[in-house]
């Protein structure tokens, strides 16, 4: 239990309010999330319309969410609110807890260019890992060009791309697990958060004291997994010592029977026939070679892309192929975790689905309305149009009142 330190003391992610926030706070967070499909900063009136909460309580809720940094505010040139990554974390973690996927969240065990990794515990006491994808951080601003997340889209928000990365990771993990690859067990997914089994082992980059024979064995093992992926039509794209975990039942005697390499991190998977497939496969091979040759004084040379492809016959490439696309990943997610909402489009067409998921995931079961609380809001454009009409009516009323006040003031002055 030492892994489960004080929740308040955890770095970067303070989850001490996840359980204590009232359902209405999560409804406001979800309303801001929905509004951000069409806005960089969501006007307060739109938050009120999308949340379905009484107008009087919204300002107080918004101020409380600002205090704990779950949303941010901008006053100019447009007054509005935006979801922070911590607010996005809270939405996904709240759903994970309500579904019974996890019961406690522990310390951070890893941080990378694209994600943070935390320990967690299931209700049965089993350790699991939560991977929170967070694209767009300063250290990796080029993710939109270096990763195939955009597809045909011309633009997309970082949170939206983080959610796509989570879908790709979970979907490809399911596909590889079905084909008996040594990967973590996929458990659940929500938004940008992927829950997977905790792999007991040693990160490959932390291995130091092994002989050349063991180094050759590990290098051959990881290369074998890369070649197997190639046979199924994909290239990992980032296979190196930082994305591999070594498991062994006998540390003193490293043999194929007692040792295996578990590969992790799959959002950047590409098709084996993609134009950049050869370059990325060879880069991964050279990374593995360089690590073992540099650290252990080995002289390892592994087959490159062209050599491997010559050995793979046409029959071996037609089997249960993995399609390195967003659609295939969604199909795998729907097959393995049907509770997850997969309509992650940006734009008006996604609002109806998100409206229903607000009630299902974030509302209190006791207070859950019999009908969707968003039944009158068809899409964001209609909500905005209504708000604009209300604002225009208020401005007209204010102008009339001002003119009336000035008229009475002038009459009073003439009387004097």
Element (H or E) spanning 115, and its range? strand 115-121
The CA distance from 330 to 167, in Å, is: 6
Q: How far apart are CA 106 and CA 108, in angstroms?
A: 7
The residues spanned by each domain of the chain are 9-87+348-391, 202-317
Q: From the candidates 148, 238, 284, 337, which is the catalytic residue?
A: 238
Rg of the chain over CA atoms, in angstroms? Answer: 26
Max CA pair span of the chain? 107
Q: What angle do CA 95, 132, 19 make, to 5 degrees?
A: 35
71: helix, strand or coil: strand
Which 3 state secondary structure label does DSSP give 162?
helix
pLDDT at position 147, please? 53
Q: Which residue has the tokens 């951070």?
A: 108
Query: 202-317 adopts what CATH topology?
Result: Transferase(Phosphotransferase); domain 1 (1.10.510)
Active site residue 185: no
Mean pLDDT by 10 residues, the chain (416 residues): 33 73 94 92 92 86 94 87 94 94 91 89 96 76 49 64 94 95 96 96 90 92 95 94 90 78 94 94 97 93 93 67 90 82 45 40 38 37 63 76 62 50
Residue 317: predicted pLDDT: 59
CATH number of 9-87+348-391: 1.10.10.10
The CA dihedral of 395, 398, 402, 407, to the nearest 10 degrees, is 100
pLDDT score at 79: 86
Q: What pLDDT, on the 0 to 100 scale, is given for residue 210? A: 87
Q: 372 and 355 in contact (C-beta within 8 Å)?
A: yes
Instruction: Indicate the SS3 state at residue 190.
Output: strand
DSSP 347-397: SGGGHHHHHHHIIIIIS-TTT--SS-TTTT---HHHHHHHHHHHHHHHHHH
């Amino acid at each position: 239990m030492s892994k489960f330190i004080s929740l308040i003391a955890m770095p970067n992610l303070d989850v001490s309010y996840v359980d204590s926030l009232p359902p209405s706070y999560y409804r406001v967070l979800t309303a801001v999330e929905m509004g951000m499909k069409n806005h960089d900063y969501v006007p307060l009136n739109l938050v009120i319309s999308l949340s379905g909460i009484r107008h009087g309580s919204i300002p107080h809720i918004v101020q409380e969410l600002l205090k704990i940094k779950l949303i941010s505010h901008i006053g100019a040139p447009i007054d509005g609110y935006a979801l922070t990554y911590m607010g996005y974390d809270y939405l996904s973690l709240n759903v994970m807890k309500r579904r019974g996927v996890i019961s406690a969240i522990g310390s951070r065990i890893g941080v990378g260019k694209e994600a943070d990794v935390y320990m967690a515990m299931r209700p049965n006491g089993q350790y699991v890992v939560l991977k929170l994808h967070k694209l767009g951080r300063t250290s990796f601003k080029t993710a939109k060009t270096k990763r195939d997340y955009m597809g045909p889209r011309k633009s997309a928000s970082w949170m939206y791309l983080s959610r796509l990365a989570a879908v790709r990771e979970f979907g490809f993990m399911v596909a590889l697990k079905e084909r008996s690859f040594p990967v973590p067990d996929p458990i659940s997914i929500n938004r940008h958060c992927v829950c997977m089994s905790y792999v007991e082992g040693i990160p490959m980059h932390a291995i130091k004291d092994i002989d050349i024979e063991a180094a050759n064995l590990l290098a051959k093992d990881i290369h074998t997994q890369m070649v197997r992926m190639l046979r199924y039509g994909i290239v990992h794209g980032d296979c190196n010592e930082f994305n591999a975990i070594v498991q062994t039942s006998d540390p003193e005697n490293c043999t194929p029977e007692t040792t295996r390499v578990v590969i992790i991190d799959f959002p950047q998977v590409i098709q084996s026939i993609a134009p950049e497939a050869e370059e990325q496969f060879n880069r991964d091979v050279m990374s593995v070679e360089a690590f073992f040759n540099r650290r252990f004084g080995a002289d390892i040379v592994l087959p490159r892309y062209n050599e491997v492809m010559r050995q793979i016959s046409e029959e071996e490439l037609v089997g249960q192929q993995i399609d390195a696309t967003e659609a295939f990943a969604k199909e795998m997610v729907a097959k393995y975790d049907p509770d997850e909402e997969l309509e992650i489009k940006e734009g008006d067409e996604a609002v109806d689905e998100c409206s229903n998921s607000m009630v299902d995931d974030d509302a209190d079961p006791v207070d859950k309305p019999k009908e969707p609380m968003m039944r009158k809001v068809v899409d964001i454009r209609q909500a905005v149009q209504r708000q604009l009409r209300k604002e225009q009516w208020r401005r007209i009323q204010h102008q009339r009142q001002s003119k009336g006040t000035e008229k009475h003031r002038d009459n009073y002055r003439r009387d004097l």
